[in-house]
Structure 1
């Protein structure tokens, strides 16, 4: 079994992004089963107007049909980092990660919980994701041939309680598609990913956008980490594939030798302190 992160440069035009994705999907390893992750915003990036125009109801529309078709034709598990999906009776959208199995069936989805409303010292400066998107309100862990997949998106990475909750629900591979800015990526991307891998003893699969998108600069550095926090493969710049084998026995051995999940006491201590 192998894990793959696809790194591309995306923009507001879906046909151009589709062509870029197709180029790399056609160069995937022949190994099956294969778990492939696309970056956050790989479908559309950089324009509120384009996101609103291309957004589809969950489970409907030509973009989701194409994603399903890729998974089926290539015989892969495909995790779409995010695409805009419509919310009934709302002017805002969800940033939604979609998971398709090798038959092209959508087996799960996740709406991004934490929205990137921050100021960053780059050319764009002010980010207000909540102007376009509404936050989700549910966690998602999915059974797969590779183990249990815990879904997240980009800014979620800064909230360790989310990943602890995913681990408590059985997650073995943490999915972290992203479009980290160059400024925040240089400072925090790898340390945060390694922390999530180490503290939860999970593989981390993190596909990132890369390059210049108008006044926005994305960090790339797509990476696959093992449950010890060690880098298995990384692509700092450009477009391409990041590929690494999945060693389920290594994951089991790390968890057996250092059973941190069984040793965790904070929840019990907190509960006891506040019982009346």
Structure 2
């Protein structure tokens, strides 16, 4: 049987890790109650904190992180794969923006550190310099995850700003990943302009499902995120999309649709090497 239910937990994380943890647990339980076998939470599930000193005071190394421990127990108890979209994890004097994929037995299947850091100046005056605090990863990761009666499938793990780098997702598609991801805390401005079209493009280009849980609304630390958790099928059709409010977004997906889309448009097999001639300079 290739049909399963997948779900996103839309959140509005605060500066309180305990409150965020409880919200994530409640969301995963609600998704499991709705029949989901794969549940994803957003980027920065456990904490949204712009003050660097406060951030370092509240975060821990991976082995000591209470949110990871709590969600491992929930995954085991409910028998679902839980994809923690990301958490701030202490790595020496910097921080990793780390995704953690947990199997239905509670074991950690894979971790991924966000490769592309959001260092931008937006037209509305917002300035973001993730590299001041975070250290970028250097490994692309496919998690081999048990998905109920559908069996095991490859999940291409990415985070937020990574969605703007199609070569990362192409590598996942060429390696056979059936589900692509980008759990996010997109700004409202950029989300309104680009979020859905980027999600649909990554799905279409690779003939894969795209699943992304999102932060939404005005947060305690002052930022405003777009929300709109989204699930897209391999043909680019939006199966489910939320709004800026926290909540569950779920859809039934048929993993056989991946092979069908790749058969109809076999672009993953048609890539050819080329030489670039000329340039802006």
Q: 1:61 aligns with which of 38, 58, 65?
A: 65
Q: 1:3 aligns with which of 1, 6, 15?
A: 6
Deviation per residue, 1:19-53 (Å, 9 max, x gap): 22233223224466610000001110033334322
How far, CA to CA, are the matches of 1:136 and 1:220 in structure 2? 25
Report if the CA contact (8 A) 1:32-1:76 is conserved: no
Q: Output the TM-score relative to the length of structure 1.
A: 0.91
For residues 175 and 59 of structure 1, do their structure 2 counterparts lie closer, same or farther at Cα, with a shift above 3 Å needed? farther
Deviation per residue, 1:177-212 (Å, 9 max, x gap): 000000000011111111111011110001000110
Q: Matched residue of 1:35: which SS?
A: strand
**RMSD in angstroms over aligned alpha carbons?**
1.7
Greater mean alpha carbon deviation, residues 208-217 or residues 42-51:
42-51
Deviation per residue, 1:190-241 (Å, 9 max, x gap): 1111111101111000100011014311000111000011000011121111
Structure 2's unaligned 5+ residue stretches are: 148-152, 277-281
How far, CA to CA, are the matches of 2:9 and 2:67 in structure 1? 18
The runs of at least 4 aligned residues of structure 1 exceeding 3 Å deviation read 29-33
Tell me if 1:263 matches 2:280.
no
| Number of residue pairs the alignment of both structures matches | 266
Match of 1:74 in 2: 78
Tell me if 1:218 matches 2:219.
no
How far, CA to CA, are the matches of 1:71 and 1:203 in structure 2? 22
How far, CA to CA, are the matches of 1:17 and 1:245 in structure 2? 27
Deviation per residue, 1:155-198 (Å, 9 max, x gap): 00111111111112221100110000000000111111111110
Tell me if 1:158 matches 2:161.
no
Structure 1's unaligned 5+ residue stretches are: 272-276
Report if the CA contact (8 A) 2:17-2:46 is conserved: yes
1:27-176 correspondence runs (5 A) = 27-30=30-33, 34-47=37-50, 48-87=52-91, 90-122=92-124, 125-146=126-147, 147-176=153-182
Q: Matched residue of 2:44: which SS?
A: coil
